[in-house]
A and B are shown apart, each in its own frame.
Chain A
Amino acid sequence: MANTADQIFVLLKHWIVSVFPIAIQPYLGVLLSVVAIIAVFPGLFALTTVIERKGLGRMQNRIGPNRTGPYGILQPIADGIKSLTKEDIVPTSADAVVHFMAPLVLVVAVFMGFAVLPMGRNMQLVDMDAGLLFFFAIGASTELSIFMAGWSSRNKYSLLGAMRAVAQMISYEVPLLMSSVVIVMITGSLSLVKIVDAQNQYTWGLPHWYIFTPWGCAAFVMFCVAGTAETNRSPFDLPEGESELVAGYFTEYSGFKFALFFLGEYLGMFSISGLGATLFLGGWSAPLQVLNFVPSWIWFFSKVMLSIVVLIWIRGTLPRLRQDQLMNFAWKFVLPMTLLNLLVAAIWRFMGDGILRWIVCSAILLGVYVVVGTVEMRRKKYGPRSYRYAE
């Protein structure tokens, strides 16, 4: 019974596919999975917009939208209708072809990232040998679409926003990759399915999730930081900062194209959260062995939604980082810490089982973090600021 609930979508797909002739069955299977992904994630996107607005509202001592439907649930429908019926303005001197292609490239690239995430037992679209590499490769393509959007608008501020966004995304891609490489090192495979399988074991009822190891915890924190920066999400949302650059690289977009950018950004958030859940939080495995009767896809989506809630929480709390602060942070703090993490993970692996490796690894990581932190904070002389002007 539990197994049926767990595999219900897989069984459903097999049943639908079996109705059709053998020749087209593989294609139909793939098509069904694709349609499912295209249906589920934008639905989650709609839910997330409401949760975000209400959550941010509550954090700011106000109610979020509550007039459209009970508790504002129908707000995304209203937003959707609005963005569909708005006039699609393209500036005269804008590069029409590139202007049109930019949101398409973004949405396509982001949707492709969902292909390798295992959303439940046997519920990934493709089980690729180099799944993680595919995910990061596709993530790198989103930067190109942002640049296309900024350049084709023929607007100085859009271009500035696009350059900043691309610089930020490139800077944070390295820590993102490095913090995931630790997982690959320990698991021994790039395939996301195998990574989840490796975490699906239990000792005394507690799971073997990588976040419960010292190097995994550090890597998770850095992954979160880098992931937030990758998706241009507050506090790293300078490229789209409303107070600085109007809307940054999507200033000149209106109507449905703007909605597509919005969709692309939120889907990017989902895919990074999904990847984080897969790599560090055990994907679709349950937190305690006794809870295995709950279907695996419920665990995966709960972890993703939890990450989204934390992202919204962070958005409501932290002020925006300035561009140079952002870049300094990436190259001077996060990247060296990821390299150190690699070293610590190697030490963990070669020390063998036992309590000693826990102590040593935690000590190294915490020690370095505290030392670097205090040194950096003492170095910043909090006084009147001295300015350096461009020559």
Chain B
Amino acid sequence: MLGEGILKGLKETARNALGSYVSKERLTTVEYPEERLTLPEASRNFPFLVYDGTDWESGLRCVACQICEKECPPKCIYIEKSKDKKPDAVGKAQFYPAKFDIDISVCMSCQICVEVCPFEAIKMNTEFELSTDNRFGGLLLDRKELALSNEYYHQIHPTEASEVDGRLAAERAAAEAKAKAAAAAAAAKAAAPPAAKPAAPALNPAAAPANTSAVPASEIPSGPTAKNPTGTPTSAATAPPAVQNNVINADAPRAPETDGAKPDAPSAITKKEGDAS
């Protein structure tokens, strides 16, 4: 009948209007800034630097390798390496960034820096209320502003953070195992001729990222002793392919491999390295 549609429409609008007082689904307004919508877990805005523990300076994971600076498309990261070294997340002495600036007015949140970082040092933050009235430097975040704790990382990206923690723990374990094996090897070396040495660099752990740490880890116990002239060049030589391995294995799911690197499975591992390179 003529006019029926209008009455149906009026009824629907009335239901909407009166229902908005009683049900949540008929009033979809979120009154910002008193209320906020919860962001999904995978949301991202601008990067931040992760530090472990309570002291941001000593716990900073970043080793100033400058990979993110090179890979950043709009070149918004500026890094200055330090002169001295400090132990990094897995215990090896590394450089650290004396200056680490990100210009977030330039950053386009592409997350490439996160993807390429071998040390799980830079991650994406979800903070979006960043407006400032300092026109000239307000959006240039320096090292101190960028450093946020691992606990915060767990808060904003729980799944990711647990994964990362697992990986780092695995690396640390591998590094320690490496150190123990190297110590045992050094002890054995003291007794036997240095025939085990060429095998040491080839001895590569399933945790390929621990490659660079595995080799230097062998340095640590031998540090106080005479410097191994072969040690450093080998580490330098193996560093680039090791880095490549890192990059290639970076996007491979590493979770199944993190159940404790077994130094006593060298054959499978070397085969893997052969595949990779």
Contacts and interface: CB of A to CB of B under 8 A. Distances in A.
Interface string A331-350: 00000000000000000000
B10 A317 contact: yes
Given A313-B13, A313-B14, A317-B13, A62 B6 contact: no
A58 interface: yes
Interface in A356-371: 369-370
B38 interface: no
B155 interface: no
Interface string A355-391: 0000000000000011011101100000000000000
Contacts of A373: 1-3
Nearest to A64: B29
A58 B16 contact: yes
B99 interface: no
A370 B4 CA distance: 11
Contact of A376 (B2, B9, B10, B28): B2
Interface in B1-43: 1-3, 6, 9-10, 12-14, 16-17, 20-21, 26-29, 31
A376 B2 CA distance: 9
A63 B32 CA distance: 12
B2 A316 contact: no
A36 interface: no
Nearest to B10: A317
A370 B1 CA distance: 7
A185 interface: no
Given A62-B27, A63-B29, A63-B31, A55 B17 contact: yes
A63 B27 contact: yes
Most buried by A among B1, B2, B10, B14: B2
Given A313-B13, A370-B1, A373-B1, A58 B20 contact: yes
SS class, residues of chain A in contact with chain B: helix
A318 B6 contact: yes
Contacts of B31: 63, 66
A294 interface: no
A63 B28 CA distance: 9
A314 interface: yes
Contact of B1 (A63, A313, A317, A374): A374
A131 to B, nearest CB: 32
A59 B17 contact: yes
B105 to A, nearest CB: 29
Interface in A44-65: 55, 58-63
Given A61-B28, A62-B29, A313-B14, A377 B6 contact: no
A58 B17 CA distance: 5
A317 B3 contact: no
Contacts of A59: 13, 16-17
22 contacts: A58-B20, A58-B21, A58-B27, A59-B13, A60-B16, A61-B16, A61-B29, A62-B27, A62-B28, A62-B29, A66-B31, A313-B14, A313-B17, A316-B13, A317-B6, A317-B9, A317-B13, A318-B9, A370-B1, A370-B2, A374-B2, A376-B2
The 5 residue pairs across chains A and B that have the minimum distance between CB atoms: A373-B2, A58-B17, A317-B13, A59-B17, A317-B9
Interface of B: 1-3, 6, 9-10, 12-14, 16-17, 20-21, 26-29, 31
Interface of A: 55, 58-63, 66, 313-314, 316-318, 369-370, 372-374, 376-377
